[in-house]
Amino acid sequence: MLVLRVLNVVAPAYFLCISLVTFVLQLFLFIPSMFKDPSTTPLFSPALLHGALFLFLSANALGNYILVIQNSPEDLGKCLNSGRGAEVVADQPDGSRSPCSALPSTHFCRLCARVTQRHDHHCFFTGNCIGSRNMRNFVMFCLYTSLACLDSLVAGVAYISAVLSMSFANPLAFLTLLPHSISQFFSGALLSSEMFVILMLYLWLGIGLACAGFCSHQILLILRGQTRYQVRKGMVVRARPWRKNLQDVFGKRWLIGLLIPMLNVGSDYHRHKDK
């Protein structure tokens, strides 16, 4: 448990450090290198378009990240003293089970020390549980983090290709880039800044693919009306239309939330809470 608590603190700090490094590299290295002559740069140049795209992806990733943390799952354990709702059992830290107002899949998280509604999993990179209140923002966070990493990967490859006069037309060139770069770095033929960018390329690739896979799996579970906790516990879920399952998570204003970080005000959870 101590290791998990340490990871719960270190992982968000690690994510913020990677985000800061990516932001600095993009704005102060990759994008400026795309400008050949700033005085003759057209309004809709590829460099400006790339910069606008990166800022859009970064703003959505960071905005949804903040919303995931701020919109924490409600501590349903407090409802024991409020006397509202139907009685459902929830797992407690000592292994016992106590009644509480919640939907099925209610679970007590030892790290957060609270009972969450429709518990999916505990995300160490946000230091928070993922439940009915922040599921949509979590999916959007994974999606835009993946896109921002892949965007940085493409910009970084273009920068390394121009600086080192390399061609990546052959897919094997990227796979052999790291071992060749390490040998050149220790022989003094490669600058430390260039080696750092090359290491970041592989880090962006790993984070981008991991977030894309995680986001795809999460959407698949949402279409089925399931959570990771239900799958892990082997719980049977009542079959419902996939459109209804999507609406429960993303709400009716899903298109606005796809472009702008915002709370899911159109979901069934928030309509129930407003009542």
User: Hey, which residues are catalytic here?
Assistant: 123
CA distance 54 to 38: 19
* Cβ proximity of 116 and 74 under 8 Å: yes
Q: ∠9-121-139 over CA atoms, to 5°?
A: 95
- Round to whole Å and give the CA distance between 263 and 134: 8
- Cα gap 37→15, rounded to integer Å: 35
Name the strand (E) or helix (H) holding 114.
strand 114-116
Distances (CA, A) of 92 to 38, 82, 95, 116: 62, 18, 5, 11
Which structure tokens are listed for 247? 């609406």
